Structure 1
């Protein structure tokens, strides 16, 4: 019986145009998130807007708009994303510049562009742009990334500019998430570990320098180590979050029964919604939520693997990148709520209140569903080397592609020789 059921599910999975397990888990997560925004924001909505459901209605509108945008983006072929990946990245850079000029400052950071109906956070858009840009770069230069450190360092200019603009806001959380996403995608593409000793260490050194030279940043970073030392000052938010999480015990106080959301815990509906969830649903509720994120990440990586087998390497890297993005941001947010990490200002995907986060996660997942769709119904032929292909200027390549590494003692060949030998079917050097 169980074997027949599994075979039936497998056949049904193949007949669907997308991964329905992934879609189902996302819908469940979004439903839980919308419910928790309604529960956690009642008190703050009533105080600020004299309406208990203000934030709930705005989140519901954002999710509805996200679903519409996701449906539209699902119709766009992967070839279109691949063709315009550089323009998308440049647009994201322009948004980061715009937020520094016209942005709205909240709690000492300029991260939001005031639009007509919402405050838009360009750093969220940048995360999606980075995934697509990196996927295109790795699809085109996969062999060079495996063999040459120069192919990795060639990314320093665009991503260095991006990191500089993010640090000016400042937004250390998004900078860290994007750095890990880039590193993860490079490693999945086959880049050797030793390359990152020369790239990651300087970045860490810069971040440490920025923290040490600022008293405010130092306080933000160190306050999580012992919040009870100043429970009514620097450690107030974290102590209240820990009280909320601990109050849930095994089974929770019940939906809507949280005490900490009654204006005790700041940002209870945004960055610290996880603590309210833990208070209302307890340890087993938290375990279920973590399992849900792990299943979503597994399905995203499964889509990536299937895309690789279908010779859609560009789509595979998108699925891997989005998978890293989702699980990393979820882990950091939960860690912040439990006192494992300093406050980063990162939302819990599809849970925390925030229109920008909902819209961009919806958009990114729509592209992943498109990857799954094309992998199922339009498998590609394996790529053959083509020396007549015009140079792609959409990768910010300021140096020529790295040639294959020569064996010691072999004769150096010119580009013309490589082209001639390739046409005649001759390999090697």
Structure 2
């Protein structure tokens, strides 16, 4: 076993899966199914007459997502690295496609979905995954210019700016903020020069603030976020009901299935605001457990990434940093929104919220992370695939 691998705790088993990561993910996915079943009962009964309509669909999404994750787990990482430019083109094409009337489905003034018949694909989910693969490839290929020059840092940010503008055209401010946050994290870990990095970070933050205040509806959201009780019967209703749900949970919650706010008081109770229902039913103890589980996922993802980077597989490492950071950042933002710490955004809680696009994308991300872990283990025993030897 190599010294670097040993330092990062490579398991002695030649094959296998990261136990901590898989355990935390399994609990989160199971908990997510339970919460979708609990939170969506009233809404499903009202819309379809079948109380477990959303639960059954989520179960199907999970089965398909598991198949997708396994499929990606079987693909050598070198294939993704070689395909990164085509994936970037795919992301741009998908984000353009969703903006075309008649192709993109418009809901509540936002055109973010493509109707595939069985479910609606949210274009931003697949596009962001493709873009993160592209950025990981760029860092691997151009790490020396990235660490030494202004241009080396500017080029990937310019490349990401194009799809970001397309995301804003949908509009999808939340997805744009997540994408930019993850890209900046990856570039920082890639060794970007601090003064260039801080300059671009400040510029990006200022740009996002200007975009946030440019649209009247976003300004209204920010004002309602600051004081939802000022207009509790209208614009402040959703956040106020979410805060009531979180407050009712107290220490140990009101019990699984006993939420009051899910009885059509809280909008989006099984999607963007499922955390509030979880907090109501499981209390502070449940919230702490949830934070711990997400912390384990991000921790193990970063350990796997660092192990790959130290052993010289930089693409695998930076991709794993990006994917783990995405899960952690989106989880924190979703929970902060539910607790009134950030303005309302249309972001799901990974692995818990109802939604096919979100769940399929998270499963794909986990498949890629576990593939990196597999290649770490194989390399520790001097095993390389035919792809790696090319």
Q: Same fold (TM over 0.5)?
A: yes
1:106: how far off?
Answer: 1.3
Preserved contact between residue 41 and residue 52 of structure 2 (Cα < 8 Å): yes
Q: Deviations over 1:141-199 (max 9, x none)?
A: 11211111110111243211111100100101010111010110011111122113332
| CA RMSD of superposed structures (Å) | 1.6
Preserved contact between residue 42 and residue 264 of structure 2 (Cα < 8 Å): yes
Preserved contact between residue 36 and residue 54 of structure 2 (Cα < 8 Å): yes
Alignment of 1:136-215 (within 5 A): 136-215=137-216
Q: Which residue of the partner structure matches residue 6 of structure 2?
A: none
Preserved contact between residue 229 and residue 235 of structure 1 (Cα < 8 Å): yes
Moved more, 188-197 or 337-346: 188-197
Larger Rg: 1
1:296: how far off?
Answer: 0.7
Q: Which residue of the partner structure matches residue 82 of structure 1?
A: 81
| Higher RCO structure, 1 or 2 (CA under 8 Å, sep 6+) | 2
Unaligned 5+ segments in structure 2 are 1-8, 383-390
1:122: how far off?
Answer: 1.1
- Tell me how far apart the structure 2 counterparts of residues 302 and 183 of structure 1 sit (CA, whole Å): 19
Preserved contact between residue 350 and residue 358 of structure 1 (Cα < 8 Å): yes
Query: Does the residue aligned with 2:300 lie in a helix, a strand or coil?
Result: helix
1:310: how far off?
Answer: 2.2
Q: Which residue of the partner structure matches residue 110 of structure 2?
A: 109
Q: Which residue of the partner structure matches residue 323 of structure 1?
A: 324
Preserved contact between residue 311 and residue 379 of structure 1 (Cα < 8 Å): no
> CA distance change for structure 1 residues 213 and 305 in 2, over 3 Å: closer, same or farther?
closer
Q: Which residue of the partner structure matches residue 424 of structure 1?
A: none
Moved more, 165-174 or 191-200: 191-200
- Tell me how far apart the structure 1 counterparts of residues 62 and 106 of structure 2 sit (CA, whole Å): 25
Q: Which residue of the partner structure matches residue 259 of structure 1?
A: 260
Q: Which residue of the partner structure matches residue 235 of structure 2?
A: 234
- Tell me how far apart the structure 1 counterparts of residues 327 and 172 of structure 2 sit (CA, whole Å): 18
Q: Across the two proteins, how many residue pairs are aligned to each other?
A: 372
- Tell me how far apart the structure 1 counterparts of residues 329 and 43 of structure 2 sit (CA, whole Å): 28
Preserved contact between residue 105 and residue 113 of structure 2 (Cα < 8 Å): yes
- Tell me how far apart the structure 1 counterparts of residues 206 and 367 of structure 2 sit (CA, whole Å): 36
Preserved contact between residue 228 and residue 235 of structure 1 (Cα < 8 Å): yes
Q: Which residue of the partner structure matches residue 54 of structure 2?
A: 55
Preserved contact between residue 139 and residue 315 of structure 2 (Cα < 8 Å): yes
Q: Deviations over 1:39-76 (max 9, x none)?
A: 00000000001110110011100000000111111110
Q: Which residue of the partner structure matches residue 274 of structure 1?
A: 275
- Tell me how far apart the structure 1 counterparts of residues 342 and 95 of structure 2 sit (CA, whole Å): 26
Moved more, 168-177 or 185-194: 185-194
1:15: how far off?
Answer: 4.5
Moved more, 301-310 or 167-176: 301-310
- Tell me how far apart the structure 2 counterparts of residues 115 and 11 of structure 1 sit (CA, whole Å): 42
Query: Does the residue aligned with 2:136 lie in a helix, a strand or coil?
Result: helix
1:206: how far off?
Answer: 3.1
Q: Does 1:123 align with 2:115?
A: no
- Tell me how far apart the structure 2 counterparts of residues 224 and 50 of structure 1 sit (CA, whole Å): 34
- Tell me how far apart the structure 2 counterparts of residues 206 and 139 of structure 1 sit (CA, whole Å): 27
- Tell me how far apart the structure 2 counterparts of residues 330 and 64 of structure 1 sit (CA, whole Å): 22
Q: Which residue of the partner structure matches residue 293 of structure 1?
A: 294
Which TM-score applies when normalising by structure 2?
Answer: 0.92
Preserved contact between residue 18 and residue 372 of structure 1 (Cα < 8 Å): yes
Which TM-score applies when normalising by structure 1?
Answer: 0.84
Q: Which residue of the partner structure matches residue 94 of structure 1?
A: 93
Preserved contact between residue 104 and residue 112 of structure 2 (Cα < 8 Å): yes
Preserved contact between residue 41 and residue 52 of structure 1 (Cα < 8 Å): yes
- Tell me how far apart the structure 1 counterparts of residues 146 and 14 of structure 2 sit (CA, whole Å): 36
Q: Per residue, is there more helix in 1 or in 2?
A: 2
1:126: how far off?
Answer: 1.9
- Tell me how far apart the structure 2 counterparts of residues 211 and 173 of structure 1 sit (CA, whole Å): 10
Q: Which residue of the partner structure matches residue 32 of structure 1?
A: 31
1:213: how far off?
Answer: 3.2
